[in-house]
């Protein structure tokens, strides 16, 4: 009997929703998204990893995984001009969704307008608490007993778009921003691929 297994797998891959991942640094969330995409039933595939810092550590992870990369320093470029280059690269790669994974640049309103509802971000706090930086230090300073992470749709305001999913972790006596970050990060790595899969399936 003919074996159509390989054909079936190729078709399934072609049907997966193409996603671009934007990073600025080590890229551990990007790596989690890429690892999850190895599963046969993952509904997305990562077609591009782009960075605004050519030294971003995550670029090497992406290259090793065989994923196309694009890196350009934003330094010396106007935000809108930089974002226009980025937008063109993402569209050239065929992406239909964008996942921000430690991307430390505000995207310009015109960029976001071209992707309304299809840019997602992970943020290391229980939004709407602690938008911006130093989230873990702020949660500890406030005396919170829980921290966590949120996946949200990106809108022009920083860390402000609709929250799609959250994961919670305890904040323990004696926690420092580093120990709390180390507890939240694995929760991010579990939450982000699962949530992105749900979003692109919807």
The number of angstroms, rounded, from the C-alpha of 179 to the middle of its chain's C-alpha atoms is: 22
118 lies in the site for ligand GRF, by CB under 6 A: no
**DSSP SS3 for 146:** strand
Q: Which residue is nearest to ligand GRF (CB)?
A: 102
188 lies in the site for ligand GRF, by CB under 6 A: yes
Instruction: List all residues 6 or more positions away from 187 whose beta carbon is below 8 Å from its beta carbon.
Output: 148, 149, 167, 168, 169
Instruction: Name the segment binding ligand GRF (CB under 6 A); options: 25-33, 46-54, 90-98, 108-116.
Output: 25-33
Our CA dihedral for 155, 160, 164, 170, rounded to 10 degrees, sits at 150
Q: Which of 17, 21, 28, 49 binds ligand GRF (CB under 6 A)?
A: 28
122 lies in the site for ligand GRF, by CB under 6 A: yes
Instruction: Considering the complex, state which of residue 118 and residue 136 has its C-beta at the smaller distance from ligand GRF.
Output: 136
**DSSP SS3 for 50:** strand
Q: Which of 74, 123, 136, 152 is catalytic?
A: 123
Interface of this chain with ligand GRF, residues 144 to 183, rule: CB under 6 A: 149
Instruction: Considering the complex, state which of residue 89 and residue 188 has its C-beta at the smaller distance from ligand GRF.
Output: 188
Nearest to 114 by CA among 165, 80, 163: 80
The number of angstroms, rounded, from the C-alpha of 24 to the middle of its chain's C-alpha atoms is: 11
User: By the criterion CB under 6 A, which residues form the site for ligand GRF?
Assistant: 23, 25-29, 101-102, 122-124, 149, 188
């Amino acid at each position: 009997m003919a074996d159509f297994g390989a054909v079936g797998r190729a078709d399934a891959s072609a049907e997966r929703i193409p996603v671009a991942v934007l990073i600025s640094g080590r890229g551990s969330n990007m790596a989690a998204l890429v690892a999850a995409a190895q599963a046969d039933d993952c509904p997305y595939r990562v077609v591009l990893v782009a960075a605004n810092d050519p030294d971003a550590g995550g670029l090497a992870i992406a290259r090793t995984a065989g994923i196309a990369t694009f890196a350009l320093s934003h330094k010396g470029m106007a935000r809108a001009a930089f974002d226009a280059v980025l937008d063109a690269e993402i569209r050239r790669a065929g992406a239909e969704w964008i996942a921000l994974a430690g991307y430390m640049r505000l995207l310009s309103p015109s960029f976001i307008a071209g992707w309304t509802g299809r840019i997602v971000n992970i943020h290391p706090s229980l939004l709407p608490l602690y938008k911006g930086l130093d989230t873990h230090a702020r949660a500890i300073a406030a005396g919170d007993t829980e921290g966590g992470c949120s996946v949200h749709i990106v809108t022009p305001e920083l860390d402000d778009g609709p929250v799609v999913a959250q994961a919670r972790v305890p904040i323990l006596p004696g926690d420092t921003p580093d120990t709390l970050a180390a507890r939240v990060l694995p929760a991010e790595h579990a939450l982000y691929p699962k949530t992105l899969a749900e979003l692109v399936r919807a």
